[in-house]
Amino acid sequence: MRAPPPAGIPDAEAGARLWRGSPAQRLRLISGLVLFAFAGTHFANHALGLVGLDTMMDVARWRVAVTRSLPGSLILGLALVAHVAFSLVRLAERRTLRMPLWEAAQTLLGFAIPFLLVPHVLGTRITSLVDGTRTTYAYVIVRIWPDGMGFQTALLLVVWLHGCLGLHAWLRLSPLYRRIVPLLAVPVFGLPAAALAGIVTQGRLMERDTVLARRFEAPDLAARWQVPPLDSTVAAWGDAVTGAIYAAVAVALGIVLVRAAATLRARRFTVSYVGGPTVKSLEGPTLLEISRANRVPHVSVCGGRGRCSTCRVLVVGGEGHLSPPGAQESAALRAIGAPANVRLACQAKPSGDVAVVRILDPRRESADQHLTNTDVAGIEREVAILFIDIRGFTTLSERKLPFDVVFILNRFFEAVGREIEAAGGWIGGYAGDGLLALFTHADGIGPACRSAFTAAGEVDRAVTDLNRQLAAELPSALRMAMGLHAGPLVLGRLGYGASRGRSVIGPAVNLASRLESLAKAADVQIVASAEAAERAGIGLQGLRVETVAVRGVEAPLPVLYAARAGDLAGRLGASA
């Protein structure tokens, strides 16, 4: 059975993956989040210029009370220094400057920020500290309007784009983020646009006031929108800081270039990609860096940060020539149950000849980089399985034109699928006039079973409504048979070439299918395993429970029969 991205995979697990990484990676991430939060609130304050200058300044007083307090200043200062420092270290540690386009864009934008930011900080925070100037919005807007607006616009857009690229690269491992990402287009594009519009609005109003004051010879009003030139001491500090930033970036790039030059004389070994090229390398780079340096396609959803496992390789030769896995790599591989000869290409550093298989085919996976580890790795999950099939549909289809058959089936699948998704499940596949629905939950199999029984009850109601709507089209009402069970399944991608897709495998799927057949034979709407019912919190007293022999299962199995799935769903609340 094919499964779409498993929305039911616990978001808590995906959230834990987001925080994987070395201490340096986590500090760079946390410092980036602090700076992005500061920038976001700052830009939102700019946007209030569309309301009025007084509103901008009133809100700014509250914001500045936090950001310019001693704790706020320390946190922001440390975050800025840490983020720049760790980014420089990461650049210096690179063995190649080849990287995906999005990563190159984020890196270049990030290193442009300090050069754009220094003049702004000097004219606001540093000026305030040196001579006590009240660097209010009015002060700042007059200083930058209109000649400095191009510079200010560049700063705002570069900061925002760098932050959004970083957040996207980090959060795209989260199923929750993928579900809400269309909604984020509004703040992503709207906030910087509103911020710039707010500054422009107030700048034009101040310029108008100045022109009117000069025209009507009102020196007091004209003087209101004048600011003194930047203090010479502050300007000198700015030159020194800018020079230091240039030097730091030059040193980081110099280290990369020196390493690149050293490769010309270093001893080289071969890295063989099964089904791909054989390339030469030297000791130091990771397998992923070797792939990038030699333009060998290699999937890496997280950008080589060790937060996912999509770059993993199967080592088929020279395993002893790879660096031992560290704590970060071990945790990632343990999470997917990988064998000992599977390594993360972004962490493993070869020192001699190796041969590897890229587990994720870059010809297929390059179009699927939005997938999480659980989509592409074969991992086991406790899953509640619900099989649904239309009874007697073959006879019905023989009496209808093909168009009518497709129309009825699509209406049925639409009604059923809507209720399955509403209950937190997803459709794992279709087979003729039936389908397979899967349910997982962050809190375990019990809540997943409750969701499955809830969905079954709502499907019962939805199909009853559908029968009423299609009464004129149907010779008789659509009747369903359902089988419900819970157990371990393997989730992964199976198949060949273009037909490969996300699939589920396991005896629990076959058992749920057998229970659906029992429902047909017993002329009831649903048969569920007693185990799944008990896990859902449904008391079995007073219900029809029988121990039956199920094909493919060695021991007899206690199962629950119900004429209507809605009857069982109604008992969930009473037993909770």
Asked if the model's pLDDT at residue 384 lies above 90, the reply is: yes
Task: Identify the domain boundary among 340, 368, 396.
Answer: 368
Looking at the domain assignment, is residue 148 inside a domain? yes
The verdict on 350 and 461 lying in the same domain is no
Question: Residue 241: which domain range?
Answer: 22-261
The verdict on 444 and 556 lying in the same domain is yes
Asked if the model's pLDDT at residue 11 lies above 90, the reply is: no
Q: Cβ(333)–Cβ(309) under 8 Å?
A: yes
Find tokens 């901008």 and name the residue.
56
How do residues 335-366 score in pLDDT, each as one tens digit? 766 778 889 999 999 989 999 988 876 655 44
Tell me the angle at which helices 53-67 and 70-93 cross, rounded to the nearest 10 degrees: 80
Task: Identify the domain boundary among 368, 393, 417.
Answer: 368
Nearest to 322 by CA among 350, 356, 344, 346: 350
DSSP string, 508-553: HHHHHHHHHHHHHHHT-SEEEEHHHHHHTT---TTSEEEEE--TT-
| pLDDT score of 16 | 60
Nearest to 555 by CA among 529, 533, 534, 537: 529
Looking at the domain assignment, is residue 4 inside a domain? no
Looking at the domain assignment, is residue 450 inside a domain? yes
The verdict on 256 and 273 lying in the same domain is no
Our count of domains for the chain comes to 3
How do residues 261-290 score in pLDDT, each as one tens digit? 766 666 689 999 987 899 988 888 899 989
Looking at the domain assignment, is residue 150 inside a domain? yes
The verdict on 519 and 441 lying in the same domain is yes
Say how far apart CA 220 and CA 215 lie, in whole Å.
Answer: 13
Looking at the domain assignment, is residue 568 inside a domain? yes
Looking at the domain assignment, is residue 52 inside a domain? yes
Say how far apart CA 206 and CA 201 lie, in whole Å.
Answer: 9
Q: Work out the pLDDT band at 254, boundaries 50, 70, 90.
A: confident
The verdict on 432 and 549 lying in the same domain is yes
Say how far apart CA 281 and CA 278 lie, in whole Å.
Answer: 10
The verdict on 98 and 113 lying in the same domain is yes
Looking at the domain assignment, is residue 3 inside a domain? no
The verdict on 436 and 395 lying in the same domain is yes
| pLDDT score of 131 | 66
Task: Identify the domain boundary among 217, 242, 261.
Answer: 261
CATH number at residue 331: 3.10.20.30
The verdict on 359 and 385 lying in the same domain is no
573's CB contacts (< 8 A; 6+ apart) are none
**Structure token digits, residue 508:** 């629990």
Helix (H) or strand (E) holding 203: helix 185-215
The verdict on 340 and 428 lying in the same domain is no
The verdict on 88 and 159 lying in the same domain is yes
Looking at the domain assignment, is residue 121 inside a domain? yes
| pLDDT score of 129 | 67
Does 146 sit behind a cis peptide bond, omega within 30 degrees of 0 on the bond before it?
A: yes
The verdict on 247 and 285 lying in the same domain is no
The verdict on 71 and 181 lying in the same domain is yes
Specify the pTM.
0.53
CATH number at residue 554: 3.30.70.1230
How do residues 432-452 score in pLDDT, each as one tens digit? 788 999 998 878 889 999 999
Helices (H), 380-529: 393-398, 402-422, 445-469, 507-522
Flag the least confident range among 201-215, 230-244, 341-355, 438-452: 230-244
CATH number at residue 88: 1.20.1300
